[in-house]
């Protein structure tokens, strides 16, 4: 295990930590909130994300044919909703309720949809700056629907990076 830590350029300095946050989503108005991490930049600490959970309040079917959509992402720095293929995005969520004249259709997507083991060899992302962003959007066809709450829990551990690794990670986040 020690060889692996040297190869990766960081050393685990804490046990697993859970960080929770929520965002109030207003129909038709994208939003975001910055979530502070317990990191020390002087000690070159990074946050190694091992698991993410995201959920939102129930989306109701529309009275008339139409749709209601909640999209969200946990990003390193971006304040916009991103998709999982963007390197800035750690996790993304999409929930859609479509009402037709005949029925209601519900679709949900959450990526990544698996959990890691929480070991140094298995993680989802590394955050080098002392915060991350929860971004979300709620939109209905009719507009004016009641707000929806978005909830997240990010699990990970603090680690101390060597100088070169820390500089590279911070530079990558700032330049995204």
Q: What is the pLDDT of residue 15?
A: 92
Residue 52 main-chain phi, psi, to 5 deg: -140, 135
Closest CA to 151 of 136, 167, 165: 136
Q: What is the pLDDT of residue 121?
A: 63
Quick one: tokens of 172?
Answer: 């990558």
Q: What is the pLDDT of residue 1?
A: 34
3 state SS of 43: helix
C-beta neighbour count of 116 within 10 angstroms: 17
Q: What is the value of pTM for the model shown? A: 0.86
Q: What is the pLDDT of residue 59?
A: 83
H or E, element range at 8: helix 2-8
- Fold (topology level) of 2-174: Jelly Rolls (2.60.120)
Q: What is the pLDDT of residue 2?
A: 36
Q: What is the block-wise mean pLDDT of the chain (176 residues), using blocks of 10 residues?
A: 49 93 96 95 94 89 83 96 93 88 75 64 87 96 89 94 91 84
Length of the chain: 176
Quick one: tokens of 153?
Answer: 């829990």
């Amino acid at each position: 295990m020690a060889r692996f830590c040297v190869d990766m350029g960081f050393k685990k300095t804490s046990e697993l930590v859970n960080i929770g946050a929520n965002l109030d989503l207003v129909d038709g108005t994208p939003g975001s909130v910055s979530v502070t991490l317990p990191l020390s930049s002087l000690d070159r600490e990074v946050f190694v994300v091992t698991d993410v959970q995201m959920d939102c309040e129930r989306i109701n079917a529309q009275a008339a044919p139409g749709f209601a959509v909640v999209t969200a992402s946990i990003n390193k720095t971006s304040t916009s909703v991103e998709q999982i293929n963007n390197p800035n995005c750690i996790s993304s969520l999409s929930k859609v309720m479509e009402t037709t004249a005949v029925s209601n259709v519900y679709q949900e997507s959450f990526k990544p949809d698996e959990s890691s083991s929480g070991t140094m060899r298995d993680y989802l992302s590394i955050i080098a700056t002392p915060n991350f962003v929860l971004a979300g959007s709620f939109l209905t066809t009719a507009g004016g629907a009641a707000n929806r709450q978005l909830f997240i829990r990010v699990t990970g551990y603090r680690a101390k990076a060597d100088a070169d690794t820390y500089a590279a990670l911070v530079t990558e986040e700032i330049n995204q």
